[in-house]
Amino acid sequence: MLSNFKVVLVETSHPGNIGAVARAMKNMRMNQLRLVNPKFFPHADATARASGADDLLRDATIHNTLQSAIADCQIVLGASARDRTISWPSLTARQCADKWVSSAESTQNIALVFGRENSGLKNHELDLCHYLLRIPCNAEYSSLNLAAAVQVVCYELFVASGHEQVSRIGDRGEDPLATAEQMEAFYVHLQQTIADIGFLHPDRSKSIMRRLRRIFNRIQLDTKELDILRGILRFSQNHNTK
């Protein structure tokens, strides 16, 4: 469940980033924000960047230590861009989502801990984490903006939660795609029409029709579009016989 996840920001310098984090969280239906020693909070920049997610700022809890912010959490993940010299179990954002969203362990509280803008989490803070939380990115330019990192992680959790129905590829909404039978009727009509208008030379009939099929099959017509095209064919036929 998404409500099991708590976003914990450690010693954030720029209050604007706290606001942007709140917005990123609310965009993905997350709402529990915990702040460890924020440099400035509350702050007008935080409210401005929250842009309608100020309820998350109002409900955010403030803590003096990371220990206090994660006290009720069974699982703690620490976001890290750097490769650490100590080897450490790590999960990508997607692995984290696959592992804990809608899993049997869903009664557990899970802390997602994000460090300072410039220096991340310190080693003694990582000692409190069970996993490093990693976002796959460009190894040569790996430091994401704080809110951008939170956005990606919350997005992965949201997608894994299945809250939103994902449309199938090519779905166009209300008009159903044409059936093969409807398409065949269209091709017959098309062939007749281009014969009627004198375009179709009998010798080349097969190869031309094959090319036309390749075109129209590729664009997956829906019934409404088919009606329009057949209307055009009818008008072409009538025009020719006038």
The contact set with its own copies (CB under 8 A) reads 20, 23-24, 26-29, 49, 51-53, 87-92, 94-95, 99, 134-139, 141-145, 147-148, 151-152, 155, 158-159, 163-164, 166-167, 169-175
Amino acid identity, residue 47? T
One-letter-per-residue 3-state SS of 50-72: HCCCHHHHHHCEEECCHHHHCCC
Please give the Cα distance from 136 to 140 (Å, whole number).
12
Closer residue to its own copies, CB minimum distance, 54 or 196: 54
Residue found under tokens 């709402």: 31
Closest contact distance (angstroms) between CB of 4 and its own copies is 17
Amino acid identity, residue 114? F
Closer residue to its own copies, CB minimum distance, 6 or 49: 49
Is the bond leading into 202 cis (omega within 30 degrees of zero)? no
Closest contact distance (angstroms) between CB of 177 and its own copies is 11
Closer residue to its own copies, CB minimum distance, 41 or 155: 155
Closest contact distance (angstroms) between CB of 64 and its own copies is 29
Closest contact distance (angstroms) between CB of 21 and its own copies is 10
Closer residue to its own copies, CB minimum distance, 16 or 69: 16
Closer residue to its own copies, CB minimum distance, 137 or 197: 137
Closer residue to its own copies, CB minimum distance, 52 or 198: 52
Q: In the 8-state DSSP scheme, what is residue 235? A: H
Please give the Cα distance from 205 to 91 (Å, whole number).
59
Residues ≥6 apart with Cβ < 8 Å to 230: 186, 189
Please give the Cα distance from 79 to 111 (Å, whole number).
10
Which residues lie across from 79 on neighbouring strands? 133
Closest contact distance (angstroms) between CB of 141 and its own copies is 5
**Residue 30 tokens, joined:** 């997350």
Please give the Cα distance from 30 to 2 (Å, whole number).
6
Closest contact distance (angstroms) between CB of 30 and its own copies is 9
Give helix 223-241 / helix 180-196 axis angle, nearest 10°.
20
